[in-house]
Every structure is written in structure tokens, then in C-alpha cells.
Copies of this chain bind each other. A is one copy, B any other.
Amino acid sequence: MSFEAAVHAKAIQLGHQSLTMCATAGSGHPTTALSLTHIVTVLMYHSMRWVPDDPSYPTSDRLVLSEGHAVPIIYAACADVGVAVGKHEKRPLSTGELDNLRKVDSVLDGHPNPEEGFPFFDAATGSLGQGLSVAAGLALAANLDQIDKNIYCIIGDGESREGQIAEALDFIIDKKLGNVLPIFNCNGYGQADKVSQQQSPQRIAAKLEATGFTVLTIDGHKPDDIKAAVDQFRSNDDPNTIYAIVAQTVKGWGCPSIQGGGWHGKPPVGDELARAIEELQATGVGLTGALSSDELRIYPPEEYQPKQAENRPMRSFDEAMKAYDMGLVLKSGKLATRKAFGLALRELGHADARVVSLDADVSNSTFAQYFARDKNLSHRFFECKIAEQNMFSTAAGMSASGKIPFCSTFGKFITRGYDQIEMAIISGANIKIVGSHVGISLAADGPSQMALPDIAWFRSFGTVTNHDGNPACYVIQPADAYAAFALTQQMAQHPGACYMRVHRPDVEFIYDANATFKLGDFEVLTEGRDLMIVTAGYMVHECNKALDQLDRLGVDATLVDLYSLPFDADKLLDFANQNNGNILTVEDNYGASLGSAVADACTASGDGFQIEQMTVKRIPKSARDEDSVLRECGLHFSDIVKTAASMLGVPVGA
């Protein structure tokens, strides 16, 4: 039997199964799946070097399905070859299990989701336009580990409208990632309508060429064409030639009755299903009985040879400062938390070879440059340019390869990647996100550069557990350089997503070399009995100033540095009760954030508390210095004093 016929027979089988599993589930996208049936067959049964019983084997080629809704076709192939699945114990996926698609206890989630027990995939997809960046991350990690493997990425024509695809394409050319093969599945239909002419195969090919790719345009239902194009990619050894495939396909291939508009995400059932299957089978009349073939063979990858990394222990903040000629700064007693982050990142780089740094053209502001400019680390620094979405999804791909990616940019610009970050969290990515210049202390640059609702969003993930049972994300707010240094290290040690907020201004040291920090904990800086002030980050300093004045007014306040969300609620309640249930929270961002987290904790207890939340209550504007903006927003230490005194009925005086 010819390769063409063998692929075709297998494609019919997988397409048939896609149709029936979606009909059984009552939802899903069989027509999209059918548009990929030949491409997936050629990749999974011929081109890819992999092993079904260990699909995440380090040297295995990878398949990233960016248009995640097409996943039934992959599930069908995986069941056919018995891919290992399972959340805890692994077992080969059986064809019978395809009937469980989308069931609450099935590994076959509605969209690719490695965390639900499907390690064939490296990342959850389904929110469109992200897969190619994930593929780039997998490719970068392979290059770092000197593993010769290929990453195939299937992208829908409709989803290629997402700007992130353009970002990923630029990144792939910039980094010369010839081990990634983007395959554009041009079936011509989106959900509501046909795709725009801007996403026609011709236009996509022209854009790819203008971006620097060598484009192979093929008929995505001709196995020999697919094979020839993928072979051309596989045999390429010119680092300046980066291939992409534009495949013209048919949505609902083989089944004319379910082609055209109106069949996106709608499985045929009953008579319609029977008719579609009949049509599909008719395309293989000459191939009766040939549902498998020696022409289709899965070739294994090379054996993995783990490399021993040379790590050295991480030094203390004081030692590191001195080692990097920052002894004078250390003596000055002041340093911005963002600089301490940069220092810690550099130390971590030497201490753990898995640590990589990604930044979006602001490494001289986030101080990721301390890592980037270290000649022993610079190969693990990845300049992502002004394209945050791609940065976060690339990091998710690197995490899937065992790296510990630190992504840094202004906290405000991290917003650009929230969807990507959420997908990374769903994927179980061990991603570390560092937002600098957060809150109103940025002052002069104004609200377009200030992160203000960021804590609300990230802390929402802290109310949920991920698949390891940990908070899906920690929010970390260091108040000084010692804290930032130690907490950066804590982030690296924690196996899961973390968001750290660092500030622009230099601030005085509050802690010293003996201070310890732990995710989920907090520090009581001053223990009083009248009022508990709870704050974090930059505002710890403002609250400290307030404490001095409150002391003069006879108020004995407790000051809590709540550097982690979530936190130990019971422990915080003990301190609240020691302060008669009087709580003042202070933060340099919008509400629904730290103060709200404290309110959540207190109200769960059922005890009576009074919580006053000081937050930014108006959209801020530029101001030349921190003092002006704090006054403008009512968050100056004098405002804190007034609020605290008023809560306790203490006169502030003239």
C-alpha cells in the first residue's frame, strides 16, 4: 500500500472517530478536526520522533495544537496508538475512552489540557493565538539543553488574526528557531463566518514571507505533499532558512453535508451523523479494510542524555551586593526592590541552571539586565522586545521543558498578557512574573504606566488551588531590598505561578540579613494593641512614618507587612484580636486587593471587626514625585495618621 493510501485510510478512521466522539459528547468541533486529519496523521504516524508510552520524553518531537478546539483528531490518534494518559498513574488511552470526551472524570478535556492527565500536550490551548509562542518556548529550551528535536505547531487561519501570532513569528525569526514548524491550517472558516481575506492562504503566505519565513504552500489533504513539506523542514540545515507551511484544507473534509458555514463547534448527530460518516467512508472506497499500514510508523526519538549543570549555592543579599561591587549602595541603606530583584535573579541564575530570564525591552528598568549582562548567564536571557503576550506563552513553553522562567516588565504591561498567564496557570506552568513600576509611586509617568488593578486579578488565582493543590498563584509584595531578594529566591523554589510586584523608587532597608520570608506568611514589624495596620510593598514605608506620628498621639499600632497573598489567615486574626478588631489596610493600588483579602479572612471568622481600607480611589494622574501623588490620592502618611486616629476617635490636633 502506498504512503498516500495508508495515510488516507488512517485519516478516515480518525475523522470517523472525531465525528462519533463529538456526537456522543454532545459538543465539540468535528469539522475543524476533519480539516486536520491528514496533517495530523502524517505528523503523528510518520514525521514526529516520539514514543506513545512516554509522550513527554525530553528528546521527543512535540505537537502544539494552537487551535485547541480541533483536539478530537489528536485524541483519536492518541487512542489509536495508546498514548500514556492519567493524572497520577499512567495508562494507555484506549479507543473506548473516546466516548468519555468532555466528561467530568475524563482525561479528554474539551480543549488540550495537560494538567487533567494528558501529557502529550505541553500546554493548555483553546484561547486562540497562543500555541506558536508556546512552541517557541519549547524550541528555545531544546536549544539550551542541546536537544535536537522539532516542535510542530498547528495554527488556524482564523486565529492567525490574533496579534500574538505576529509576535511569535517575529520572535522565531529573531531567535532563528529553525526547530519550530508553524503549520497554518487554512480551512477558510471561522466561527461566525468565513475568515477575512486578510487571512487567506495567499495573504498569510505573503505576510510570512515578509516576516522572513520560507513558505511551503500545500494541499493539506494530500499526504505526499504534507510529507514532502515536512521532510524539507526536517532536512534543513541552513540556520537562516526558517520554514512555515500554509496548508489549504477543507473544514468538514470528506463530509460535504457538514461543510461550509454554520457547522463550527456543532457536531452532527442522528441522521446527520450517519450521513456524514457515510460520506467520509465513501472517500476511502478504494481502501476498504486498510485502516493501518506499515507505511505508517512511529519512529522513536534519540535517547536522552541528561547534562549535569554546574550550580553554586546562592549567596546572601549582603554577599551578593559586595560581590557585584554594590558595597557602597549597601552602606547607603537604600535600594529599590526592582534592583534587588535583578540582583537575586542574577544569583539565582548561577545557583540554578533551570532559571531563565525573559524581558520585554525594559531590562534596564526591571533590572533583569543584571542577569542579561552577566556573561555566564546571557545565553539564558531572552529579549522578547515589546510583545508581552508572546513572552508569557513562550515562558509557559519553557516551563513545560523544565525551565524556571522569570518574566519581567512594567506591572502595567503585564496586563497585556493576562489571558496568556491564565492559560499558563491552567497548564500548570512554573512561571514567575515580575511587575516593576507598580502602583502610584511611579508618579511622573502617569496612569498609562501604573499597575493598579493587578493585585485584584492575581489574588483571584490565590483563592483557587491548582492541580498540585497549591494556590494557583501567589502575589508577592516585597517592602525592601532584603525582602525582594529573599522572595525572588522563594519564588524560584516554589513549584508554581507567582506574581511579584516591585517599585520604582529607592527605599530604605527595613529588614536585615537575618530576616526570613515564606510564601503564605507575613511579618509583624511593630506589635501594638490599639489598631492593626496591614500593608505591603512601598506603602510599608509610608505606614512606618505614620506609626511615628500615631505613637505621639498615644496610639499603639501594630504594623503588618503582608508580603504574600494568600496568607495565614488564622495568624492574622490573632493579631487583629490583639488590636480590638480595629484594622486599617493601606495600599497604593485600586481596591478588591490586599484590604479586601484581609476583609475576606476576617469575615470568614465570624468575629466582629472594623476594617477601613485605604486604596487609590480615583484614576490617578502624573505627578513629579511620590509625595505629590500620595497626597493627591489621599495615601500620604499624614492621611494614614488621620484615618487611623479617626477610627479610634483620637483627636489629631491642629
A residues apposed to B, CB below 8 Å = 25-28, 68, 102-104, 106, 109-111, 113, 115-116, 124-129, 158-159, 161-167, 170, 173-174, 190-193, 195-199, 203, 206-207, 209-212, 359, 361-365, 369, 383, 385-387, 389-390, 412-413, 415-416, 418-419, 422-423, 425-426, 444-449, 452-453, 456-457, 459-467, 472, 583, 590-593, 595-597, 599-600, 602-613, 615-619, 621-624, 628-629, 631-632
Q: Give 12 A-B pairs besides A127-B449, A464-B617 with Cβ atoms closer than 8 angstroms.
A: A26-B444, A111-B449, A126-B445, A163-B166, A191-B361, A199-B385, A412-B419, A423-B448, A456-B459, A460-B592, A592-B596, A596-B596
Identity of the chain B residue whose Cβ is nearest the Cβ of A597 in the assembled complex: B592
Q: List the B side residues contacting A369 at CB < 8 Å.
A: 192
9 CB < 8 A contacts A-B:
A113-B621, A158-B385, A174-B197, A174-B198, A192-B361, A192-B364, A193-B383, A463-B590, A464-B591
Q: A619 CA to B415 CA in the complex, in Å?
A: 20
What chain B residues lie within 8 Å of A618 (beta carbons)? 464-466
Contact among B170, B603, B611, B624 for A25, CB-based, below 8 A: B624
Partner of A161, one of B387, B595, B599: B387
Check if A460 sits within 8 Å of B457, measured CB to CB: yes
B198 and A203 contact, CB distance less than 8 A: no
CA distance in complex: A363, B164 (Å): 22
Contacts of A460 on B, CB cut-off 8 Å? 452-453, 456-457, 590-593
Q: B613 to A600, Cβ gap below 8 A?
A: yes
Q: Are B386 and A159 in contact (CB under 8 A)?
A: yes
Contacting pair B416 A419 (CB below 8 A) = yes
Determine how close the nearest CB of chain B comes to the CB of A260; give it in whole angstroms: 14
Nearest B residue to A387 by beta-carbon distance? B161
Task: Count chain B CB atoms within 10 A of each CB in A102, A126, A423 and give the residue with the most.
Answer: A102
Question: In the complex, what distance in Å separates the CA atom of A207 from the CA atom of B272?
Answer: 44
A269 to B621, CA, bound (A): 24
Q: Are A198 and B170 in contact (CB under 8 A)?
A: yes
Known contacts A164-B163, A453-B460; is A362 also within 8 Å of B191 by CB?
Answer: yes
Interface centre among A125, A210, A412 (most CB of B within 10 A): A210
Given A166-B166, A472-B619, A621-B104, also A604-B613 (CB < 8 A): yes
Query: A113 contacts B198, CB within 8 Å?
Result: no
Quick check: B127 and A412 within 8 Å, CB to CB?
A: yes
CA distance A600 to B173 in the complex (A): 49
Which residue of B68, B159, B447, B616 contacts A448 across the interface (Cβ within 8 Å)?
Answer: B68
A210-B209, A364-B191, A419-B413 as given contacts; A619 in contact with B425, CB under 8 Å: yes
Q: A110-B622, A603-B611, A617-B465 are in contact. Are A170 and B174 (CB under 8 A)?
A: no
Residue contact B464 to A113, C-beta cutoff 8 Å: no
- Cross-chain contact of A609 among B103, B603, B631 (Cβ < 8 A): B603
Q: How far is the CA of A423 from the CA of B412 in the complex (A)?
A: 10
With A126-B446, A596-B599, A611-B603 as contacts: A624 and B387 at CB distance below 8 Å: no
Q: A463 and B591: CB pair below 8 A?
A: yes
Cα separation A621 to B211 with both chains bound (whole Å): 37
Instruction: Collect the chain B residues with CB atoms within 8 Å of residue A623's CB.
Output: 102-104
Q: Shortest 10 CB-CB distances between A and B: which pairs?
A: A163-B163, A126-B448, A463-B591, A608-B608, A606-B610, A453-B460, A456-B460, A104-B623, A110-B446, A166-B166
Partner of A387, one of B163, B459, B600, B628: B163
The answer to whether A624 and B126 touch across the interface, beta carbons within 8 angstroms, is no
Minimum distance in angstroms from A198 CB to a CB of chain B? 4
Question: Does A158 contact B127, Cβ atoms closer than 8 Å?
Answer: no
A192 to B593, CA, bound (A): 31
Residues of the B chain whose Cβ atoms lie less than 8 Å from the Cβ of A605: 610
- Bound complex: CA A466 to CA B465 (Å): 34
Give every chain B residue within 8 A of A412 (Cβ-Cβ). 127, 419, 422
A162 near B159: Cβ-Cβ < 8 Å = no
Q: How far is the CA of A628 from the CA of B104 in the complex (A)?
A: 7
In this complex, the member of A422, A425, A613, A618 whose beta carbon has the largest number of chain B beta carbons within 10 angstroms is A422
A10 to chain B, nearest CB (A): 26
